[in-house]
Chain A
Amino acid sequence: MSQVDTSHDAHHGDHDHHGPAPGLMRWITTTNHKDIGTLYLWFSLIMFFIGGGMALIIRAELWAPGIQIVDPMFFNSMTTMHALVMIFGVVMPAFVGLANWMIPMMLGAPDMALPRLNNWSFWIMPFAFTILLSTLFMDSGGPAGGWTMYPPLVLQMGDSFAFVVFAIHFMGISSVMGSINIVATIFNMRAPGMTLMQMPMFVWTWLITAFLLIATIPVFAGAVTMLLTDRFFETSFFSAAGGGDPVMYQHIFWFFGHPEVYILILPAFGIISHIIPTFSRKPLFGYDSMVYATASIAFLSFIVWAHHMFTTGMPLAAELFFMFSTMMISVPTGVKVFNWVSTMWRGSMTFETPMLFAIGFVVMFTIGGLSGLMLAITPADIQYHDTYFVVAHFHYVLVPGAIYSLMAACYFWIPKWTGNMYDEKLGKMHFWISTIFVNVLFFPMHFVGLAGMPRRIPDYSLQFADWNMIATIGAFGFGFSQLMFVYIIFKCIKGGEKATGEVWEGARGLEWTVASPAPYHTFEESPTITPNTVTR
């Protein structure tokens, strides 16, 4: 690296096919977008099981009323850490990993725009999560005030408080750098001739997601910084005695928090918009409207945040504004669902595993969207807020939503990554077992929620017992069936039926024009794109 050779064309021809460095250093120093994508994906898979373990502790405690297994404080730190790990350690890095792998190939680019920065974005993550997870081993225990970290409760936390704040700063740096890199790649690295409207949907959705990240992560960083100074430097941002307001934290947090939930779902929309056309053997229905719907969702996501705060005592005008703006988001979301269904309409469909997960996504994400709509109604939310109904809502959009899209993406692209087909029979089994258990797990939460069971409490009254027991059965079923996924991946890496370059019969886009497995360097010479090139 320290040696720069400008005349490489003349006598370094061999470096044009520069392979990976040997051994462990390959992974630490790599600047290759595929290596870095792989690192992100492995990282997120490991965190998935850590976060999943926490979820199983929660569900085990909720198996029956009363306090059986864990101390209530530990229970609360499990709900808090489970959310932080799943959001920041699983879904976000997994999407970044897919972006790393796929975006340069989809755009016909040799790599990401800023490869060194890319390396740093990844290598921050293991350190940031070391800090976050280490708080569980501190005397005071991990953070237990919920992932939203509302003051004043969060300020009463023990020694782990400062470390949680810094872990968030740390992850934020990674997300912002990663997003800047993605934006620069999309704007600057497209193959000559490729217009923005020729970009695949996954690229579009990531472009908009990256914008959301760059715009909101710094706000979150600001919010937790104010928590830090309130705790250690006697400021009064969130203390009414000093003229501040604890509710102000909620406003700032949710200004980040609501766009954040779209950060967790927009790339999923992109993935689904690849898989459904492929297995329907038709181009995506309404591509333009998909792009505009994505952009509208992103815009609207900035003006709906206070739907998380209907019960905090806002002025009536604010309650109404946020209710209607929230409902408005269902319009572009509805456009998307309509387009997916229309893409399938009269397609010659087949149901390989990625397609199953994609259809599962459309159906179950819509259930979550509908419960979201119910929560958006202010007078109704005053009843539902902080009950298990909310838990049911966001788990429907996040588990059979975001996580299913990730599973679908892995099955869809793993032949391109490894050169081998995965075991289709096991894949389908994985889908059906997961889908049964995920509904056993989350559907009953609607019932106990409507009946008034509060979230984030380790104990509950007797009338909720039956449905909780059923949910816990679903949780263990779902959790353990994910081991199948790991097995299928390992098996696919080890071997299997060889994949062709195109992999899927209906596949469209530049990523399918390269060999499987994709060579270490792709598109070292840019392809030329004409208006007729199939890029999406």
Chain B
Amino acid sequence: MSTATDGYYIPHEAKWPIVGSIGLFVTFMGLGSWLNGSGVGEITFYAGLAIMVFMLFGWFATVIKESQSGAYNGQVDTSFRMCMSWFIFSEVMFFGAFFGALFYARQFSGPWLGGEGAGGADVTNAVLWSGYNYVWPTDGPANVGGGFQPMGWFGLPLINTLLLLTSGFTCTVAHHAIKDGDQKKMVRWLGATVALGFIFVACQAFEYYEAYAHLGLKMSSGIYGSTFFMLTGFHGFHVCMGAVMLFVVMLRGMKGHFTAENHFAFEAAAWYWHFVDVVWLGLFVFVYLF
């Protein structure tokens, strides 16, 4: 049911949000108990995730149906665009926290632990860890995690960079295709983008395997391991989300949902993809290269 108000579509009786809240509640309660070592926690967590997936399906199906039926005018479209842009901005800030941690550890706390800096910073070194010499990458003065080799930039990470850059390119080709109204071409290039995305994730998984199996590089490898896995891990998770979004857009393209003028879903997913791309470049430079 809907009310037309100057053409701005206002939905009534939303049933999905409460499902989403219950889903998140079950997920968080489950994960919390799981972390605390309770057996039911794990099952509860997965049940919560299932509810979330169900909710997302239902919610997006409703929105897609409304969009296809032409309920949304240009103003509604603008609301969606703003929503997506600000959401991406919030994600930028989320990554900012972890990049901030990386810079802080490398620029400040690391050198201080190594005895640099005046006014008391050097005391920690003298009293607790005299003889500790700070060089990045480090697992700290206590060598927690038992020694590791850092991940070089040349092999897989470089390949991954090329993969993601290429996927940015294919995504843009797909965008031009839909702008010309060529949905078939869009689907083809999107398919390539999604494939590149999943290859990236596979490479990343292999890289993690290498790290654990051969380099001794683990989450517990001090601040280097912490920042490495936190940044690449959250990034990889975002790649998965972005790829799923693009995949859904691709399926919708196969069903002929888009026109040259009306393809916001594509654009939202594409913006997200480029955001993930840019984050990777930051990672490549600051986590791998330098």
Distance to closest chain A CB from B168 (angstroms): 23
Residues of B within 8 A of A (CB-CB), count:
86
Chain B residues 23-37 with CB under 8 Å of chain A are: 24-25, 28-29, 31-32, 35-36
Among A162-170, A273-281, A449-457, the one that faces the other chain is A162-170
**Which of A3, A30, A188, A525 has the most chain B CB atoms inside 10 A of its CB?**
A188
Q: Which residues on A sit within 8 Å (CB–CB) of B16?
A: 116, 120
A54 interfacial by beta-carbon distance below 8 Å: no
A179 to B87, CA, bound (A): 10
Q: Given A1-B1, A4-B69, A184-B86, is A243 in contact with B97 using a C-beta cutoff of 8 Å?
A: no
Q: Which of A1, A16, A162 has the most CB of B within 10 A?
A: A1
Counting chain A CB atoms within 10 Å of each CB, the highest count among B29, B82, B230 belongs to B82
| Contact status of A117 and B105, CB under 8 A, knowing A6-B70, A217-B90, A242-B144 | no
Q: A29-B13, A31-B14 are in contact. Are A315 and B141 (CB under 8 A)?
A: no
- Is A120's CB under 8 angstroms from B224's CB? no
- Kindly report which residue of chain A lies nearest to residue B123, judged by CB atoms: A313
By a CB distance below 8 angstroms, the chain B residues around A505 are: none
Q: Kindly state the separation between the CA atoms of A447 and B82 in the bound complex, as whole angstroms.
A: 49
Asked if B11 is at the interface (CB within 8 A of a chain A CB), the reply is: yes
| CB-contacts of A497-535 with B (<8 A) | 521, 523-526
Q: Is A247 an interface residue (CB 8 A)?
A: yes
Is the CB of A355 closer than 8 A to any CB of chain B? no
Give which listed residue, A31, A214, A239, contacts B90 with CB less than 8 A: A214
Complex contact B17–A116 (CB within 8 A):
yes
A15 to chain B: closest CB distance in Å? 6
Interface residues on A, range: 35 or more
The answer to whether the Cβ of B91 comes within 8 Å of any Cβ in the partner chain is yes
Stretch at the interface among A72-80, A91-99, A225-233: A225-233
| Contact code string B242-262 (vs A, CB < 8 Å = 1, else 0) | 000000000000000000000
User: Taking the nearest CB of chain B, how far is it from the CB of A142, in angstroms?
Assistant: 14
Q: Could you say which residues of chain B place their CB within 8 Å of the CB of A6? A: 69-71
Known contacts A229-B219, A244-B140, A215 near B93 by CB under 8 Å: yes
Binary interface encoding of chain B residues 110-144 relative to chain A, with 1 for a CB under 8 A from any of its CBs, else 0? 10110001111100100010000010001111101
Separation of A25 and B22 alpha carbons in the complex (Å):
16
Q: Does A218 contact B91, Cβ atoms closer than 8 Å?
A: yes
Instruction: Determine, out of A59-67, A106-114, A261-269, the stretch whose residues face the partner at the interface.
Output: A106-114
Query: Across the two chains, which residue of chain A brings its CB closest to B29?
Result: A131
Question: A1 is contacted by which of B15, B98, B118 (Cβ under 8 Å)?
Answer: B15
Distance from B130 Cβ to chain A, minimum over Cβ atoms (Å): 14
Residues of chain B within 8 A of A242, CB atoms compared: 139-140, 142, 144-145, 220, 222-223, 226
B104 within 8 A of A: yes
Q: How far is the CB of B120 from chain A (nearest CB, A)?
A: 5
Considering the complex, give the chain A residue whose CB is closest to the CB of B97: A222
A8 lies within 8 A of B121 (CB) = no
Write the chain B residue with the least CB distance to A159. B36
The residues of A that contact B213 with a CB separation of less than 8 Å are none
Q: Is the CB of A4 within 8 A of B89?
A: no
Question: B214 at the A/B interface (Cβ < 8 Å)?
Answer: no
Complex Cα gap A244–B144 (Å): 11
Q: What 1/0 mask marks residues of chain A from 172 to 212 whose CB sits below 8 Å from any chain B CB?
A: 01001001110110011100000000000000000000000
Say yes or no: A183 contacts B220, CB within 8 Å.
no
Of B121, B140, B145, B230, the contact of A315 (CB 8 Å cutoff): B121
Instruction: Give the residue of A110, A216, A233 whose beta carbon is less than 8 angstroms from that of B6.
Output: A110
Q: Are B105 and A245 in contact (CB under 8 A)?
A: yes
Residues of B within 8 A of A126 (CB): 21
Q: Chain A residues with Cβ under 8 A from B176's Cβ? A: none
Interface string of B1-13 (1 = CB under 8 A from A): 1111110101111
B222 adjacent to A248 (CB under 8 Å): no
Candidates B3, B21, B78; contact of A127 at CB < 8 Å: B21
Q: Is B100 at the interface (CB under 8 A from chain A)?
A: yes
**Residue of B at shortest CB range from A120?**
B17
Q: Which of B213-236 contact A (CB under 8 A)?
A: 218-220, 222-227, 229-230
**Interface check B281, CB cutoff 8 A:** no
Contacts of B149 in A (CB 8 A): none
Contact among B2, B21, B62, B224 with A243 in the assembled complex (CB-CB below 8 Å) = B224
Interface flag for A21 (CB, 8 Å): yes
Whether B140 pairs with A176 at a CB distance below 8 angstroms is: no
Cβ of B82 and Cβ of A236 under 8 Å apart? no
User: Are A1 and B11 touching (Cβ within 8 A)?
Assistant: yes
Distance between Cα atoms of A110 and B7 in the complex (Å): 10
Distance in Å from the Cβ of B212 to the closest Cβ of chain A? 13
Contact of A5 (CB < 8 Å), options: B1, B120, B121: B1
Whether a CB of chain B sits under 8 angstroms from the CB of A223 is yes
Interface centre among A3, A116, A217, A525 (most CB of B within 10 A): A116
B282 within 8 A of A: no
Q: Nearest A residue to B7 by beta-carbon distance?
A: A9
Pick from B86, B94, B145: contact of A219, CB below 8 A.
Answer: B94
Contact B17 A123 (CB under 8 A): yes
Nearest Cβ in chain A — how far from B201, in angstroms?
A: 20
Q: Are A232 and B222 closer than 8 Å at their CB atoms?
A: no
Instruction: Tell me which of B62, B82, B109 contacts A244 (CB under 8 A).
Output: B109
Is B53 an interface residue when CB atoms closer than 8 A count as contact? no
Residues of A within 8 A of B14 (CB): 1, 29-31, 115-116, 119-120
Alpha-carbon distance between A232 and B32 when the two chains are bound, in angstroms: 11
Complex CA–CA separation, A190 to B246 (angstroms) = 33
- Chain A residues, CB < 8 A from B4: 8-9, 16
A244 to chain B, nearest CB (A): 5
With A162-B36, A163-B32 in contact, do A184 and B83 touch (Cβ < 8 Å)? yes
- Taking the complex as formed, is B96 at the interface, i.e. its CB lies under 8 A from any CB of chain A? yes
Within 8 A of B (CB), among A107-159: 110-111, 113-117, 119-120, 123-124, 126-127, 130-131, 159
**A236→B91 CA distance, assembly (Å):** 23
A215 CB → nearest B CB, Å: 5
Say whether A221 faces chain B, with CB atoms less than 8 Å apart. yes
A–B pairs, 30, beta carbons within 8 Å: A3-B1, A4-B66, A15-B3, A16-B3, A21-B12, A29-B12, A31-B14, A110-B5, A115-B10, A120-B17, A127-B24, A131-B29, A162-B32, A170-B24, A180-B82, A187-B82, A189-B79, A214-B90, A218-B97, A219-B96, A221-B97, A235-B226, A235-B229, A236-B140, A240-B140, A241-B142, A242-B145, A242-B220, A243-B109, A244-B223
User: Which residues of B pack against A, CB within 8 Å?
Assistant: 1-6, 8, 10-18, 20-22, 24-25, 28-29, 31-32, 35-36, 59, 62, 65-66, 69-71, 75, 78-80, 82-83, 86-87, 89-91, 93-98, 100-101, 104-105, 108-110, 112-113, 117-121, 124, 128, 134, 138-142, 144-145, 218-220, 222-227, 229-230
* Additional 4 contacts, C-beta under 8 A, given A15-B2, A248-B108: A29-B13, A113-B79, A179-B86, A523-B5
Chain A residues with CB under 8 Å of chain B are: 1-6, 8-9, 15-16, 18, 21, 25, 28-31, 110-111, 113-117, 119-120, 123-124, 126-127, 130-131, 159, 162-163, 166-167, 169-170, 173, 176, 179-181, 183-184, 187-189, 214-219, 221-223, 225-226, 228-230, 232-237, 239-245, 247-248, 251-252, 255, 313, 315-316, 521, 523-526
